[in-house]
Amino acid sequence: MFGGSVIAWFALIPLIKFLGAGLAEPLFPSTKLISEMAAGDIWGSYIRYIGAGAVAMGGFISLARSLPTIIRSFKQAMAGIGNKAAGKIERINVEAPLTWVIGAAAFGFAGSWLIPAIGGTFLGALAAVLFSFFFSVVSARMVGVIGASNNPVSGMTIATLLFVTTLLKVTGNTGDIGMEKAFLIGGVVCVAIAVAGGTAQSLKTTYIIGGNPRNVQIGMFAALAVASVVAGLVVIMLDKAYTIGSTEAAAPQASLMKLIVEGIMTAQLPWTLVIIGASLAVFCALAGISILPVALGIYLPISLNAAILVGGIIRVLVEKKFKSNKEGMDASIEKGTLLSSGLVAGDALMGIVIAIFAVFNVNIGIGQKYFPEFASSSLVAFLAFIGLGVWIYLVSSSRKK
């Protein structure tokens, strides 16, 4: 992932700045002169399209590689419909009936096609189901191998929007109505991808603590029925409070998807940048390099990937400390993983708390009010980050239970 950031921030951004500094007019898709753009502006205007192309191509390549497994698993699942298992079933193989999955897919297809609020057309609804199926495989695989924080939901949603918007345009669904349908179909696929990743993460935990997949799947069905309503209300509330897409609620992924859908409908998408990203993904495949991590490194800001790199370095240091003590190493890695998992969960929860304060216009910025220079100091933030890393290392490598 950090290698992808190196490509983006130390190769592509300087290259664009070098070649475009003398331009007298803005270069599409940006409306700002390259000579006046900082590195972050170039990344937001150009590099994210390259990253989106790389993520999309990486997803397609991963799908192609996974097709034999997908087909074999699907055949086995279809053969098992209606057959009652004989004898005792191992707990990790206790699954919800496949008829539930087929029924849910049929419901999603019918809803995407027939519900007036979506009205995705027959082909659009079919595309929603197909993309949901295939990209859910990629999502679950990424989360299963790496973790939920590295699930390229937005990248795969962009790939869906590229295809669906083109399909709608070809079938005569253009203009604002066509774009609205494309976003709604993309939303269906986006949720399916996110849920697949969340389920994979839950199944990992379930395997460790002794549960079975069926209970997780039933729980996910019930929880999502409630969570979807709450999430929708929160989005509406944030839009009313800030207007999504404004400075206060920038929503960069949504803005990028808007540009892509508008670009296809108006034939103004920067395909050159998308193809460059796809070419980088093909290079990774030919060179035997993991595609999606590199693509994510290009697509995500370097600050995020640098933090992930630091976490990896801390783990390596812990492993080196206990390289001659296998039992101590395993215990330390487990402690570090649990601690980091808590930090990830705490970050998400605090984000919700701060959002609630923001919606109700409650100012909790005590530091910015009384100590503005201290609160906005990059040096203070850097020292706090170093301190956090040292703390994680010390807690992970300590011998206390």
DSSP string over 348-376: HHHHHHHHHHHHTT----HHHHH-HHHHT
Same domain, 239 and 324: no
pLDDT of 242 reads 74
CA distance 178 to 119: 10
Domain boundary (300, 323, 344) is at: 300
Q: In this predicted structure, what is the pLDDT of residue 85? A: 53
Asked whether residue 323 falls in the same domain as residue 224, the answer is no
In-domain check, residue 257: yes
Question: Would you state the pLDDT for residue 143?
Answer: 80
The alpha carbon torsion through 347, 350, 355, 361 (nearest 10 deg) reads: -140
Backbone phi and psi for residue 174, each to the nearest 5 degrees, phi listed first: -115, -175
Which of 284, 300, 316 is where one domain is finished? 300
What is the model's pLDDT at position 288?
92
Contact 158, 274 (CB under 8 A): no
Residue 85 located in a structural domain? no
Answer yes or no: do 309 and 285 share one domain: no
Residue 324 lies in a domain: yes
90 occurs within a structural domain: no
Structural domain boundaries enclosing 393: 303-397
Kindly state whether residues 109 and 177 are assigned to the same domain. Answer: yes
Q: Report yes or no on 25 lying in a domain.
A: yes
Distance, in Å, from the CA atom of 43 to the CA atom of 16, rounded to the nearest integer, reads 10
> Are residue 235 and residue 141 in the same domain, yes or no?
yes
Residues 124 and 230 in one domain: yes
377 plus 245 within the same structural domain: no
- 150 and 217 within one domain: yes
Domain count for the chain, please give it.
Answer: 2
Domain co-membership, 196 together with 345: no
Q: Is the pTM higher than 0.75?
A: no
Please indicate, yes or no, whether residues 231 and 315 belong to a single structural domain of this protein: no
Examine the domain organization and report whether 240 and 357 are in the same domain.
Answer: no
Cα–Cα distance measured from residue 53 to residue 8, given in angstroms and rounded to the nearest whole number: 13
Task: Sort residue 267 into left (φ over 0), alpha (ψ -120 to 50) or beta.
Answer: left
Q: Is residue 107 part of a domain?
A: yes
Digits of tens for pLDDT over the chain (401 positions)?
A: 899 999 999 999 999 999 999 999 999 888 899 999 999 899 888 998 898 888 878 877 877 777 776 676 666 656 655 555 555 677 777 877 878 888 888 888 888 888 887 777 888 888 888 888 888 877 887 787 767 766 778 777 877 888 888 888 888 888 888 898 888 888 889 999 888 888 888 888 888 888 888 888 888 888 888 888 888 887 887 787 777 777 666 676 777 688 788 888 887 778 899 899 999 999 999 999 988 889 888 988 888 889 889 999 999 999 998 888 888 888 888 899 999 989 988 987 787 777 778 777 777 766 667 777 777 788 998 999 999 999 999 999 887 65
Evaluate whether 184 touches 118 at the Cβ level (below 8 Å). Answer: yes
Assigned domain for 245 exists? yes
What residue type is assigned to position 150 of the chain? N
Q: What is the pLDDT of residue 36?
A: 93
Question: 74 and 61 in one domain?
Answer: yes
Q: Which of 300, 328, 359 is the last residue of a domain?
A: 300
Report helix, strand or coil for 270: coil
Question: 51, 291 in Cβ contact below 8 A?
Answer: no
pLDDT at 70: 64
pLDDT of residue 271: 85
Domain assignment of residue 336, yes or no: yes
What pLDDT score was predicted for residue 69? 66
